[in-house]
Structure 1
Amino acid sequence: MTNPRPEFRNGLTRRTALGGGLAGLASAALTGSLVTPARAQQPAPTGNYRIDLHAHFLPPDYRAALLEHGHLTIGGYPTPEWSPEQAITFMDYYGIQAQALSVSDPGVSFLPGREAVDMARYCNSYAAGLFTTYRKRFGAFAVLPMPDIAASIAETIHALDELRLDGVILLSAYDGVYLGDPRFEPLMIALNQRNAYVFVHPAAIPDNAKPALPLPDFLEEFTFDTTRAATMMMVTGMTQRYPGIRFQLAHAGGTVPFLSHRLSVASQSVLGRLWPGDLPRPSVLDTQAQISRFYYDTALSASPAAMASVLAVTGRDHIVFGSDWPFSALTLPQSGSHDPAPGLSDVFDADQRMEIEHHNPLRQLPRLADAVNS
């Protein structure tokens, strides 16, 4: 089979230029000291078995709106093209059975009022149409017209109850307001009532709200923003109050696993040690348990260092595969092995990779599981 990569490579993207190289340097620096691979590299399973829970799409009218409103780049890089045919070519080459598609940053929040509502409906209806045309190949997470809470609740009801999309994607923050803020409570109630799967994706930081460093957002700021959102959801008790929502954190949780001890410092204080065991623990004393309940995807994080950190805070059953395509095109392996995440084999054997890349994702998305198994 000829390498199809030129067909789906869309130029340098915000997530890709440095990610692979830095991950390799980090792995090399840590291997043999603090982080040691669990075993010598093992072969991955064969065939199209992967279920991709971190994959993006840009329907034609959505991409046109991005360009029309000046988003010629996303995070400083050319806004990629996308089509279902390109996605299937990519999936077939890299052994991906199906993708759960989502709209990446900036969602539809770059549009005003009714335009954002209409664009969210367009994207979600487009995704639902793929379920008919390519039944076994695509799932989708609904984009919402945030930060309009009332309109987002209405779109949640339509997307999950009527279109039967597989979940919802939320950005880490909207207009500087992070998930966990009380303003989002009504939406969380609606999501909790539906036992929704919610993919939390980082948002770009406004230039006036971050250090003036000559670095693209995807390199560091994206991971920090995921961490900020997760931390706010935990310390405000949002993840405790709505146990029916299953939250997936992008890119192996940003820095949440690495900072897990620091984030749970209150539980290690005198208050945490003396808290009666028969009383519910307040959110700040329950951080470690909440961290363990998140789901963590492997997008741009398939390395011993990242996976060891995740395994230190949760079980293997809470790790799911993600490719971050088409924003990850330049970081995909060039070896011709057709394995999009060979670093996973430095940590997991073939059976464990099958669990992470196939079984775990399908357990969370029953509609997609029924489609691919029918």
Structure 2
Amino acid sequence: MADRLRKIAVEEAFIVPELAERLRDFSNSPSLSLDKLFFGPLYGGKLRLRERPVLEDLLDVENQRLAEMDRLGVDMQVLSVTSPGVQMLDADTACDVSEIINDRLADIVHRRPDRFAGLAAFAPHAPKRAAREIERAIGQLGLNGLIVNSHTNNEYLDDPKFYPILEAAEAHDATLYIHPRAPSDLMAGALHSYGIESAMWGYGVEVGTHVVRLMTSGVFDRFPKLRICIGHMGEAIPFWLWRINNINAKGQRAGLCPKTELSMQEYFLRNVYITTSGMEDPLALEYSIRKLGADRVLWAIDYPYEASASATKFIEEAPLDPEVKKKVAYKNAEALFHIAPAR
């Protein structure tokens, strides 16, 4: 009998009641944010993808979630606060709630270090305080990385105002996971209809745009050791990478794009990692591994928004070389998020 495949899922959402209550209030506000189309029903307790409301799955970590992990052979989940996190709160409240999230998350990880790791939350709209929270969460609480839900107040991390956050992430060797939320107002206009503002299309467009901004702006020249992780098989960037690289090179020669030290492809292959969350397509997985290398692709479920059973079956049955499969299933996660190997 073949050895059982160790599995670490790296984009797995949870929430604390203090944030859920504030986002429930926001969902009842007059805001026109596209996020409300999905998160209004979620925080109102009306969104169901399985037997119980998604909000209950997000609030529960050590009961039904853990039982499902046991049943399906998922060894660990890397937990992170669900989108849109604290980024829709005012800056002071967002900072305070981030501290609560990180304290609770650290408690969970310390109780069950064999089953859970955690990505720290922070408030991007208070960059200096966010940098201090990153130092506390990584240096004192021992969390495994960072989570940001793409734009904050329609602004992206290539803006120099956010450099204290990127500097802290690089200094603490903390991978920054850029998770989706609904597109910013800058590109929301055509995405109001047919449900395409969310995971069907808008989420990938949002995060893909964010990462391309980081590459083209020269952020990775200033922070060469900064590591970014994105989900959903790279938010389509691996499939566009040749064209992004080619057009940017032409643009730099013509003076239409900022000069950078490396090419767009070099930045992506040096600074960016991707996960399989919500993309159970064997051909996409094969392409991504061949394009980026087996060390840069990680397995994820996207719990509780995607089904754990199908995601687990996807990696177990993936037609990969056994050593490559081990890298994708758990070894890359151990390396990228500082998770101790199983004893």
Q: TM-score range by the shorter chain?
A: 0.7 to 0.9
Cα separation, partners in 2 of 1:75 and 1:288, compared to 1, 3 Å: farther
Q: Percent identity?
A: 23
Question: What SS does the aligned partner of 1:169 have?
Answer: strand
Matched to 2:213, the amino acid is M
Q: Which runs of 4+ in 1 moved over 4 A?
A: none
Alignment of 1:1-374 (within 5 A): 46=4, 49-70=6-27, 73-74=38-39, 77=42, 78=47, 79-81=54-56, 82-84=59-61, 85-206=63-184, 209-211=188-190, 212-216=192-196, 217-266=198-247, 269=250, 282-283=259-260, 286-293=263-270, 294-329=272-307, 332-333=309-310, 340-342=312-314, 345-366=317-338, 368-369=339-340, 373=342
1:80 aligned partner, one-letter code: L
For the aligned residue pairs, the C-alpha RMSD in angstroms reads: 2.7
- Of the structure 1 ranges 343-352 and 103-112, higher mean CA displacement relative to structure 2 is found in 343-352
- Residues 347 and 147 from structure 1, CA distance in 2 versus in 1: closer, same or farther, beyond 3 angstroms? farther
* Alignment gaps of 5+ in structure 1: 1-42, 273-280, 334-338
Structure 2 residue aligned with 1:25: none
Q: Work out whether residues 118 and 143 of structure 2, in 8 Å CA contact, stay in contact via their aligned partners in 1.
A: yes
Specify the SS of the correspondent of 2:291.
Answer: coil
Give the count of matched residue pairs: 315
Shift of 1:161: 1.0
Residue 62 of structure 1: CA displacement? 2.4
Structure 1 residues 198-247: Cα deviation after superposition (integer angstroms, max 9, x where no partner): 11111212578231321241100111111101100101111232122221
Are the equivalent residues in 2 in contact too, given 1:141–1:167 (CA < 8 A)?
yes
Q: TM-score, normalised by structure 2?
A: 0.83
What TM-score, normalized to structure 1? 0.77
Pair 237,271 (structure 1): closer, same or farther in 2 beyond 3 Å: closer
CA distance in 2, matches of 1:325, 1:362: 19
Greater RCO structure (CA 8 Å; 6+ sep):
1
How far is the alpha carbon of 1:263 from its aligned partner? Answer: 0.8
Residues 301-331 of structure 1, C-alpha deviation per residue, up to 9 Å, x if partnerless?
Answer: 23123223323431011111111001113x7
Alignment partners' CA distance in 1, 2:176 and 2:74: 21
Q: CA deviation at 1:346?
A: 4.2
Paired residues of 1:108 and 1:146 also in contact (CA < 8 A): no
Instruction: Tell which deviates more after alignment, 202-211 or 296-305.
Output: 202-211
Aligned-partner Cα distance in 1 for 2:281–2:172: 34
